[in-house]
């Protein structure tokens, strides 16, 4: 891998006169993929630009495993960085259900509706289709990953309040990432329409009350009670607690992924005077991932042992059997009369996986039901066979509702040919 460093020479005095040369450099940098119209105002006159770039899109001798790695800086905190790669393995981001809904560990971030990606600590990232294939790779792939960050001297540090400057920085990152992705797919003749250029970003920040935890009351929730998540509580699916539910959904408006969670709302007027009893199902999750995102999500859950069939024989004292290939049925319980749920378990739940073809791409769906578990100062709670069987019926009812609802993501994505893969007990 060779690294090329370019420095713009001064056109006038030592302390100024660099703007014209810097702007010329901006037009050519990163194989000409940067959005000049968005970034030209950042170019200073009093300092020279420094360019570091390499990647398979550049001239011979600048090769790397990435399509493009590029950084253009002007000092004083002004910099544009871009990374683009043809994905031959998983997306290098967290894409599990709760991570789509509560990014950055609850600190909040930004999304650009219509773009499959998020804004995080390293800038804006996105995933784009290149269905005709990306050239110059040792292994065929149709998935493009781009990450971009635009920084200026006035940018807020991580953890600062959600200022207008931070929003503007996130939008600049998304617009740069989209521009780079479209330039790459055009040069690679990938086919398909260019990604739409974002005009705004949405803040996903959620201000939690002192109760803390996933089911605490939330304030300022842009994803609350989205239409695509309304199937959770109007009315609630069979087998879960009846009454008023609230829901929260991701805001990406993506054709490649979607996530919703729902909670029985103890404080709702319709539920006045009621309280959840032990083993009532008071939480629901549902998510879908297509293409490379589906493989990435499945692999992420697999690493935790939370895919169908994983370690199914361990409790019987035998070796864990190999998990079934995706597409097979799994989830048999044998003769177990009860389950023990650990007090250390985070969000104990019963999940059900399925696979479909959505928009022409293999897609994984995962739904789950979360019961009201009470430990009474014990290390475990004992779940009887009757309640466990009820959970199994309920999680299947949730899957059926999710797949068939007119407003839910699977219908809008045109999902078909669904195969149920099996259940996963996440009690520990």
What digits encode the pLDDT tens for the residues 195-245?
999 999 998 875 433 333 444 444 567 889 999 999 998 888 999 999 999
Determine the average pLDDT of the residues in 186-201.
91
Q: Which residues contact 376 (CB under 8 A, 6 or more apart)?
A: none
Asked if 12 and 80 sit in the same domain, the reply is yes
Residue 164: count of CB within 10 angstroms of its CB: 8
* Number of structural domains the chain divides into: 2
205/391: higher pLDDT: 391
- In the predicted structure, residue 321 carries a pLDDT above the cut 50: no
Rounded to two decimals, the pTM is 0.85
Please say whether the beta carbons of 288 and 413 come within 8 A.
Answer: yes
Length in residues, the chain: 428
> What's residue 153's pLDDT?
65
Structural domain including 13 reads 4-203
Query: What is the C-alpha separation between 347 and 193, in angstroms, rounded?
Result: 40
- In the predicted structure, residue 255 carries a pLDDT above the cut 80: yes
From 171, 203, 235, give the residue that closes a domain.
Answer: 203
Q: What confidence tier does 423 reach under pLDDT thresholds 50, 70, 90? A: very high
From 203, 221, 253, give the residue that closes a domain.
Answer: 203
> What's residue 66's pLDDT?
85
Over residues 342-360, the pLDDT tens digits come to: 888 888 999 999 999 999 9
> What's residue 50's pLDDT?
95
> Helix (H, G, I), strand (E, B), or coil: what is residue 26?
helix
Asked if 216 and 114 sit in the same domain, the reply is no
Asked if 39 and 125 sit in the same domain, the reply is yes
From 203, 231, 262, give the residue that closes a domain.
Answer: 203
Please say whether the beta carbons of 245 and 232 come within 8 A.
Answer: yes
**How many whole angstroms from its chain centre is CA 358?**
18
Q: Closest Cα partner for 181 from 283, 64, 87?
A: 87
Asked if 255 and 403 sit in the same domain, the reply is yes
Residue found by looking up tokens 């899957």 in the block = 399
Asked if 109 and 179 sit in the same domain, the reply is yes
Asked if 181 and 194 sit in the same domain, the reply is yes
- C-alpha distances in angstroms, 119 versus 134, 149, 243? 25, 9, 36
- In the predicted structure, residue 317 carries a pLDDT above the cut 70: no
Over residues 28-57, the pLDDT tens digits come to: 999 999 999 999 998 988 889 999 998 888
> Helix (H, G, I), strand (E, B), or coil: what is residue 106?
helix
What are 419's two structure tokens? 């195969």
Query: What is the C-alpha separation between 173 and 81, in angstroms, rounded?
Result: 9
Task: Find the range with the poorest average confidence among 87-91, 174-178, 384-388.
Answer: 87-91
Query: What is the C-alpha separation between 410 and 399, in angstroms, rounded?
Result: 11
Percentage of the chain with pLDDT > 70? 81
Asked if 228 and 173 sit in the same domain, the reply is no
Start-to-end C-alpha separation, the chain: 45
Determine the average pLDDT of the residues in 179-187.
95
> Helix (H, G, I), strand (E, B), or coil: what is residue 38?
helix
134/198: higher pLDDT: 198
∠ CA(269), CA(394), CA(411), 5° rounding? Answer: 85
384/192: higher pLDDT: 384
- In the predicted structure, residue 68 carries a pLDDT above the cut 80: yes
* Average predicted confidence (pLDDT) for the chain: 84
Burial (0-12, 13-18, 19+ Cβ within 10 Å), 167 = middle
- Of 96-105, 217-226, 258-267, 394-403, the range with the highest mean pLDDT is 394-403
Please say whether the beta carbons of 175 and 194 come within 8 A.
Answer: no
Asked if 113 and 221 sit in the same domain, the reply is no
407/59: higher pLDDT: 407
> What's residue 300's pLDDT?
96
Asked if 240 and 146 sit in the same domain, the reply is no
């Amino acid at each position: 891998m060779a690294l090329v460093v370019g420095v713009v020479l001064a056109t006038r005095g030592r302390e100024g006169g660099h703007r014209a040369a810097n702007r010329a450099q901006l037009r050519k940098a990163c194989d000409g993929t940067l959005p000049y119209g968005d970034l030209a105002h950042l170019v200073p006159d009093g300092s020279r630009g420094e360019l570091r770039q390499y990647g398979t899109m550049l001239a011979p001798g600048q090769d790397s495993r990435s399509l493009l790695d590029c950084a253009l800086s002007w000092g004083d905190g002004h910099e544009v960085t871009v990374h683009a790669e043809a994905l031959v393995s998983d997306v290098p981001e967290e894409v599990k259900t709760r991570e789509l809904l509560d990014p950055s560990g609850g600190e909040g971030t930004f999304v650009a509706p219509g773009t499959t990606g998020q804004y995080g600590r390293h800038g804006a990232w996105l995933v784009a289709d290149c269905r005709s294939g990306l050239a110059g790779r040792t292994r065929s792939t149709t998935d493009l990953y781009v990450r971009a960050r635009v920084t200026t001297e006035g940018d807020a540090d991580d953890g600062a309040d959600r200022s207008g400057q931070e929003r503007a920085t996130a939008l600049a990152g998304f617009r740069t990432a989209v521009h780079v992705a479209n330039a790459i797919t055009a040069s690679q003749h990938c086919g398909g329409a260019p990604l739409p250029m974002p005009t705004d970003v949405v803040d996903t920040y959620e201000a939690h009350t002192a109760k803390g935890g996933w089911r605490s009351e939330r304030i300022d929730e842009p994803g609350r009670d989205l239409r695509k998540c309304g199937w959770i509580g109007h009315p609630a699916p069979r087998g879960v607690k009846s009454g008023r539910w609230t829901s929260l959904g991701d805001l990406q408006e993506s054709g490649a992924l979607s996530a919703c969670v729902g909670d029985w709302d103890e404080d709702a007027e319709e539920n006045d005077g009621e309280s959840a009893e032990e083993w009532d199902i008071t939480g629901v999750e549902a998510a879908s991932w297509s293409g490379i995102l589906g493989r990435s999500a499945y692999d992420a859950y697999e690493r935790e042992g939370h895919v169908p069939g994983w370690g199914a024989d361990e409790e019987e004292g035998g070796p864990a059997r190999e998990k079934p290939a995706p597409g097979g049925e799994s989830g048999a319980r044998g003769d177990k009369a009860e389950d023990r749920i650990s007090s250390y378990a985070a969000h104990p739940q019963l999940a059900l996986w399925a696979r479909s073809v959505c928009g022409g791409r293999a897609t994984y769906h995962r739904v789950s039901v979360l019961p009201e578990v009470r430990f009474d100062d014990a290390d475990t709670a004992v779940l009887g066979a009757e309640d466990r069987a009820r959970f199994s019926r309920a999680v299947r009812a949730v899957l059926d509702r999710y797949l068939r609802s007119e407003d839910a993501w699977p219908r809008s994505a045109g999902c078909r040919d669904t195969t149920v893969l099996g259940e996963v007990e996440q009690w520990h």
